[in-house]
Structure 1
Amino acid sequence: MANIDLSKLDLEELKTLQKDVAKAIDDYTERKRREALAAAQAVAKEAGFTLDELVRPSGSSKKPALPAKYRHPENPEVTWSGRGRQPQWIKDGLAQGKSLKDFAL
């Protein structure tokens, strides 16, 4: 590795060097990531699987969406399950004196 006397560089040269080093680090990291991914895929293939099958087994898929309990009064396509943060249209309705029963399905 070449030793660079940084004290002899001006500010622009130092900034350019800094950018070049950051890019070289990013390129190196990406290259190593691709190599590791290829190696993992090869091992999975030898065992008769795809890497996705091993990382995301079929039994651990996302939970199904909860059924809607409330519907927007003006746009029936917009719904809310009653869990998580209240949508703004529910907050607005409650502020106007309505109750959750007014939005219930």
Structure 2
Amino acid sequence: MGFSLADLAGGKSGKAVSAPKYQDPNDPTRTWTGRGRKPGWFQAALDAGTPPEEMLIA
């Protein structure tokens, strides 16, 4: 019929990619969207007393 799978599916994988919401204060290359399981660096920062608001990406 001349249609590709991308034409029929809209060319997207179906998963929405969320922008990062939090950033590791010690290593800015490590980020987290705030969804799913907390990464180790995020939990370690919380345990050390860093409030989540200080790790928000501006």
**TM-score exceeds 0.5:** yes
Q: What do the CA deviations read for 1:37-87 (whole angstroms, capped 9, x no partner)? A: xxxxxxxxxx2234xx17x61166333311111101122121111111110
The structure that is helix-richer by fraction is: 1
Secondary structure at 1:85's aligned position in 2?
A: coil
Look up the match of 1:48: 2
Please give the alpha-carbon distance, in whole angstroms, between the structure 2 residues aligned to 1:49 and 1:69: 38
Identity across the alignment (%): 34
Look up the match of 2:41: 89
Number of corresponding residues: 56
Structure 2 unaligned segments of length 5 or more: list them: none
Give the root-mean-square deviation of aligned CA atoms. 2.2
Look up the match of 1:101: 53
Please give the alpha-carbon distance, in whole angstroms, between the structure 2 residues aligned to 1:71 and 1:83: 13
Which of structure 1's runs of 4+ aligned residues deviate more than 3 A? none
Which protein is bigger by CA-based radius of gyration? 1
TM-score, structure 2 normalization: 0.73
Higher relative contact order, structure no. (Cα contacts within 8 Å, ≥ 6 residues apart):
2
What does 1:1-105 correspond to in 2, within 5 Å? 47-50=1-4, 53=5, 57-58=9-10, 61-105=13-57
Shift of residue 99 of structure 1? Answer: 1.3
